[in-house]
């Protein structure tokens, strides 16, 4: 009963009711009852009630798909369907996903498990599921047209194979891929090692999430699927800051974070206050001789990186993509840089013609967090998030690693803001100041310029620019 209760905790009350129905129908139904999830919260780890033991992962703003055992085979039921994903409080996106969510639930199995996955297609078009990174029989690889016919709308297909090597993998359609991935169809797959593994350490916290990206115009809800690179929402598990949960750990915990990239660009993921090592890639555990300490790891398109560290510094540590446009939410960004341009006088004249005209960004963009600008329905500000000391002026791919002495083992709840010791926070200086050192030389040049000398001038011209390739 205890394990069943933990099992239910892992999937939430609504889903628990669904799996309760599943239990009574197991003997009758050919298909495992699909378990659905309608909450975007981070669910506690799903402790296995049946099958081999393992140390479960925690999916950031996600959940693990329950299974049933059938003659020694682990049976899962994935349902591909349109979903509504709350990407941040008050902002709902109309996506495609699996079992009520985008991304789909994490699938967790153990090395050597025989796995049977029923895939029911409730999308308006055909689909398939590719098990990215896994060693499987070719006919189970899920490439529609190449290794199987596509799964038509309303149809259910079965995939069956043995999870041969431990690691972190992804799943996604290999049918009208551009549309279906732009719409959010993807999920994580974790195969735990069967026994103690020389290259896979025991950890106290094991998190995972996918990097994904959308192009949704403010005020609308459906992603623009033709977008190639110019996405405006950079998300972790289809959530954007401040909608991404913090990663809450106990001081001294060994922490593993598995991050898969299914966007169309690379993401240098950066952790404050700690050094980590990359202990695994899609190809499996990294040999110990090939590990080195880092604070940022670049995750290319289609790659997975698994990082590990000991959380030995208390505090609230920023954890984010280091491309600064990826820590912003949707914005009209075809906007000239106005820093240093005094245009208030001009604005006064313009407002006589266009009453809504406003002066923007002549001192930088931080004013945007305070600006009381009417936003369209169903979007969120481009930079926001109230911290204990004011706005953190972030969005997109940003979260916080919270390291606390008092966090109990197995407790993933948010402990609140870090309480700093007296005098341990950077503070305003009001005393006298020594003269700051300034670099005075103009610098040389490696080669002479072959052109007539011009009168020295300070550039004041602003060149109109496009916005591609950011
Ligand atoms: Cu990024």
Average pLDDT over residues 262-279: 97
Residue 171 token pair: 């799943």
Cα 256 from Cα 270, distance rounded (Å): 14
**Residue 118 bridge partners (DSSP):** 77, 158
Cα 315 from Cα 246, distance rounded (Å): 12
Distance 212 CA to ligand 1 centre (A): 9
Cα 148 from Cα 430, distance rounded (Å): 71
Quick one: which of 351, 384, 352 has its CA closest to 365?
A: 384
**Residue 199 bridge partners (DSSP):** none
Predicted pLDDT of residue 462? 59
For residue 151, give the 3-state DSSP assignment: strand
10 phi and psi angles, rounded to 5 deg? -70, -25
Confidence of residue 160 (pLDDT cuts 50, 70, 90): very high
Distance 320 CA to ligand 1 centre (A): 8
Distance 329 CA to ligand 1 centre (A): 12
Distance 37 CA to ligand 1 centre (A): 27
Ion ligand 1 neighbours (CB, 5 A) are 267, 321, 323, 326
Distance 259 CA to ligand 1 centre (A): 12
Distance 63 CA to ligand 1 centre (A): 23
List, as own/partner pairs, every contact residues 140-148 make where C-beta atoms lie below 8 angstroms and the sequence separation is at least 24, other chains included. 141/174, 142/173, 142/174, 143/174, 144/174, 144/175, 145/175, 146/174
Cα 304 from Cα 313, distance rounded (Å): 26
Cα 146 from Cα 127, distance rounded (Å): 13
pLDDT at 418 exceeding the cut of 70: yes
User: Are 412 and 390 contacting, i.e. CB atoms less than 8 angstroms apart?
Assistant: no
Distance 214 CA to ligand 1 centre (A): 12
pLDDT by residue (tens digit) across 10-49?
Answer: 334 344 434 433 444 444 457 888 888 888 899 989 989 8
65 phi and psi angles, rounded to 5 deg? -75, 120
pLDDT at 305 exceeding the cut of 90: yes
Q: Nearest-5° angle of CA 356, CA 357, CA 362?
A: 140
pLDDT by residue (tens digit) across 205-253?
Answer: 999 999 999 999 888 899 999 898 889 999 999 999 999 999 999 999 9
Q: Which residue has the tokens 């609504």?
A: 14
pLDDT at 185 exceeding the cut of 90: yes
Distance 298 CA to ligand 1 centre (A): 9
Distance 324 CA to ligand 1 centre (A): 8
Residue 9: in which H helix or E strand, if any?
helix 2-25
> For 422-443, b where at least 16 C-beta lie within 10 A, e where not — what string?
eeeeeeeeeeeeeeeeeeeeee
Q: What's the chain's length in residues? A: 470
| Average pLDDT along the chain | 86
Confidence of residue 465 (pLDDT cuts 50, 70, 90): low
User: Are 41 and 72 contacting, i.e. CB atoms less than 8 angstroms apart?
Assistant: no
């Amino acid at each position: 009963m205890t394990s069943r209760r933990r099992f239910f905790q892992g999937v939430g009350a609504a889903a628990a009711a669904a799996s309760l129905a599943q239990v009574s129908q197991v003997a009758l139904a050919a298909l495992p009852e699909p378990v659905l999830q309608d909450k975007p919260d981070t669910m506690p780890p799903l402790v296995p009630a049946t099958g081999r033991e393992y140390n479960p992962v925690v999916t950031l703003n996600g959940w693990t798909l329950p299974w049933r055992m059938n003659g020694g085979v682990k049976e899962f039921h994935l349902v591909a369907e349109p979903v509504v994903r709350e990407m941040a409080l008050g902002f709902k996106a109309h996506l495609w996903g699996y079992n009520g969510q985008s991304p789909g639930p994490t699938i967790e199995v153990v090395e050597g498990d025989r796995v049977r996955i029923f895939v029911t297609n409730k999308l308006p078009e055909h689909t398939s599921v590719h098990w990215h990174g896994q060693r499987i029989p070719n006919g189970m690889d899920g490439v529609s047209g190449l290794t199987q016919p596509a799964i038509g709308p309303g149809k259910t297909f079965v995939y069956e194979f043995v999870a041969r090597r431990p690691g972190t993998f992804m799943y996604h359609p290999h049918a009208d891929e551009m549309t279906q991935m732009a719409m959010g169809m993807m999920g994580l797959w974790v195969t735990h090692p069967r026994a103690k593994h020389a290259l896979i350490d025991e950890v106290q916290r094991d998190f995972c999430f996918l990097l994904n990206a959308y192009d949704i115009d403010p005020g609308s809800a459906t992603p623009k699927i033709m977008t190639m690179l110019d996405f405006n929402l950079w998300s972790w598990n289809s959530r954007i800051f401040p909608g991404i949960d913090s990663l809450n750990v106990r001081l001294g915990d060994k922490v593993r974070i598995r991050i898969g990239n299914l966007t169309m660009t690379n993401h240098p993921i950066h952790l404050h206050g700690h050094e980590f090592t990359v202990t695994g890639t899609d190809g499996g555990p990294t040999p110990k001789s090939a590990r080195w300490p880092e604070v940022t790891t670049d995750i290319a398109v289609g790659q997975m990186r698994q990082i590990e560290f000991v959380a030995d510094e208390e505090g609230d540590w920023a954890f984010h993509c280091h491309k600064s446009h990826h820590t912003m939410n949707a914005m009209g960004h075809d906007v000239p840089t106005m820093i240093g341009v005094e245009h208030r006088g001009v604005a006064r004249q313009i407002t006589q013609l266009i009453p809504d005209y406003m002066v923007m960004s002549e001192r930088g963009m931080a004013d945007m967090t305070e600006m009381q600008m009417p936003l369209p329905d169903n979007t969120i500000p481009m930079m926001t998030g109230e911290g204990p000391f004011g706005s953190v002026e972030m969005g997109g791919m940003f979260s916080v690693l919270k390291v606390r002495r008092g966090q109990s083992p197995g407790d993933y709840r948010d402990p609140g803001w870090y309480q700093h010791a007296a005098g341990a926070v950077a503070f305003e200086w009001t005393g006298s100041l020594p003269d700051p050192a300034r670099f005075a030389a103009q610098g040389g040049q490696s080669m002479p310029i072959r052109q007539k000398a011009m009168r020295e001038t300070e550039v004041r011209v602003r060149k109109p620019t496009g916005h591609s390739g950011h």
